[in-house]
Structure 1
Amino acid sequence: MVFTSMVNAMVPKSETNVLLELYKNMQGEKWNTTWDVNAPVNTWYGVTVQNGHVVEINLFRNNLVGSLPESLGDLKHLVHLNLAFNTISGEIPKSLAGLSKLEVLKLEMNRLEGEIPSEIGNMKSLVKLSAFNNFLSGKIPESLGNIQTLKELNLSSNNLTGRIPNSLGELSNLESLGLFENKLYGSIPGELGKLGQLKELVLANNELGGEIPKEFGQLSSLQILQIQNNNIFSFDNMDSMNSSQFLVFDYDKVEKENKYKDFDVNKTRMADTKFEDEMEE
């Protein structure tokens, strides 16, 4: 065990310097749980070291204040980065796109602004991307459709605008897509009907128009669909969907008779994504 501890402590100076810059930028001395920067890196709160490299940073709800350093992109062995529920401002560093081993990126409940870097599509190992409840603006990058490993994408409660990229239909492993409460407009891409693994689709509170794509009849795994508070004018294509598959289905009620009119109102709710990390440490 002593030997293992010594190996873990021998983190390259370049990686140690990145962590020290993060500590300085994020007012580390004021964190809920701070670091003893004179102690070995593998003893620092929220930092996991394996084979002499930093593989995880989990500083969830730890009173981080400030902007993220570009040098985070130098932690090439990083697999898990959770900085959710803090007061992080500024933009998402483009350098994060170079983290080819990163599987989980959690940035929700912060004050991030600016556009989502288009380079993010280069993150070929990413399984979970969560950045809801920030102030992100601009369009959703088309390049997100390149991340074939992605299972969860949650960009809800931001200031994102433009159309939903057709490229998201290429995310064949996607199980959850949350774009709730943005300023997205245009019709819903029929390409989303190709997402055979999709269980949750939350598009409510946008400015989406047009009709429900007929391709939605192919979404056999879908259990939660929320499309209310948009400008959608036709739900005719919902007839091809199996109403019994839904646990939650919220849409703008229309006077026309349809097979969804008897939905149990007690079962419908706004998917509560905002505090999904409440218990996650």
Structure 2
Amino acid sequence: MTRHDLTRHDLTRHDLSRHDLTRHDHERRLGMTTAVLVQALAALSLPTSATAAALGVHTARLRRRHRHGAARTAELRRRVRRLEAARAGLERTAVTDPLTGVWNYRHLQLTLDREVARHTRGERPLAVLLLDISGFEAISAAHGHHRAHAVLRDLAQRLAIEVRRADTLGRYGGEEFLVLLPDTGVEGAAQVAERLCWTVRRHRLLLPAEPPGTAPGPSGGPGAPGDAAARPGNGLTAAIGIAVLPRDGAHAATLLRAADRALRDATRAGGDCWRGAPAHRDPAAARRTPIEDSTRTQLGVSAPQ
């Protein structure tokens, strides 16, 4: 072996030794890196588990709060519905007459003002009927005020049925009632007044039975035997005054005054009839015969029954 071969052999051995050292060092470093990674992952897994546990606890709390909030919301909604129902009841009570159950004076005034303004803008007619019912004094004397009040309430409810849903009927005071008829002229108001007079006259009174051998008199009190057969009605009569916008007035106050004047005329005529505003009524009506009155009733003029 030559010197040159020995030198090359030594270099080869030297290269192999250096390669072995490099590989060993690489494996050692790789092992250290793996250990470090394992430790790092272990260290990172601990916060992740704690975070997951805390997140689970927080989620459970949120669910409990959501259930509690939903229950509270449902309870608040129930309270709101009860309050709205109570408010509606109070509003209805504020505009309802406590004795008869129909609209009261306050509601009539507000409705009349509103209807007058609406019909004036639209140039449409509006009829106002003012009723005064007579005969309750005899019922009070014979059966007491409580029974008379019950009869008044029952009659008011019956009168409310005799008008349209768009109409307004309320107690004006005492035994007086006011009826507002939107989009109604003279002829329509006369027909309604005639029907209301008939309803009052023929309304069945809720009175206790009389002792045997007696029959109720015309006024609702006790009478002689056989008196019921000749009795023309129940002892109640209605006098009605009619006023129509714009013929009898352009404001609520003027309409009410015109209806009140017409009511006084109907009362002076004996009741159980209706009259229009005096300023527009034919003065010759008082001289007509019953046949002429019957004919004119269909045309808008009523005579006592």
TM-score by length of 2: 0.21
Which structure has greater helix proportion? 2
Query: TM-score scaled by structure 1?
Result: 0.22
Structure 1 or 2: more strand by fraction = 1
**Which has the greater radius of gyration?**
2
Q: Choose between structure 1 and 2 for higher RCO, CA contacts under 8 A separated by at least 6 residues.
A: 2
